Structure 1
Amino acid sequence: MMTAGPQMRASDDDRDKVASVLREHYAQGRLTVEEFDERLERLYASKTYGELAVLTSDLPGVDLRSLPEVPSGRRPERPDPGRSQKTALLAMWTPWAVAGTVNWVVWFSIGAGDGFDFPYPWPLWVMGPWGAVLLVATVLMTIAGDRKP
């Protein structure tokens, strides 16, 4: 049997094994989301063992020849590049929506408890500036996301 050299072409199963290793290192905190996404993109464009080895060369304990087999019939999904952006946007807007809802419920309760004589709509001062900052951040993230190759 011939030893796989760095110029030998890699198979889909070889790429799947490396993807599994990268996911494990990402889960252990050795890779950021951006590094993980970048390496997966490079992984699926790789053609040789040498290119695969470069993707894991700075990670501890990775020997491409000793990687376990990936269960057949279950190929790992390629990451959705917009997924991390969607997650970030959700993480930004959810607290704003929760805080706004709580403030409006308190405002309504005060007005309803006072014979439906509602006070000045002070929740706008909580939601307005915060929402404006989030809106600008959302637009900038969307523009930056559209410029990614």
Structure 2
Amino acid sequence: MAASPEMRASDGDRERVAAALREHMVEGRLDVDEFNERLEQVYKSRTYGELAVVTSDLPATDLHTLPATTPRPQPRKDPRKDPAKARAELRANWAIWAMASSINWVIWLIVSTTSDGEVYPWPLWVMGPWGVVLLVSTLFGNSAVNKRDN
């Protein structure tokens, strides 16, 4: 049975028209202000005819194929669960640590050779704690993630 313009619209019908308006806004047919105005009209509408007026100048969309509510986004896969990605990330962290440590030691060496007295080996304070954290995560990181997931 085809819906006549005088027939009352349900909440689900209004939600489907609102979803269609969101699609038209995403595609660039409506700006945000116009979308908000039309959305307000949608929720004030009581009949199919009033709903049709809101979308009359937009391309036709099969309102029954649109969901009444917007779907929830799919959860992202945890990168810590993928061993290959975890190893690649760990290698990258070690490479960054090695580069920063090397730069600090070069600076220390230049300062040591150009100064009159001994210079305290301060790069140890940069690479030491950072290296310990990386070492612990290298040794226990993957097993801790696997134990937590089980």
TM-score (norm 1): 0.43
TM-score (norm 2): 0.43
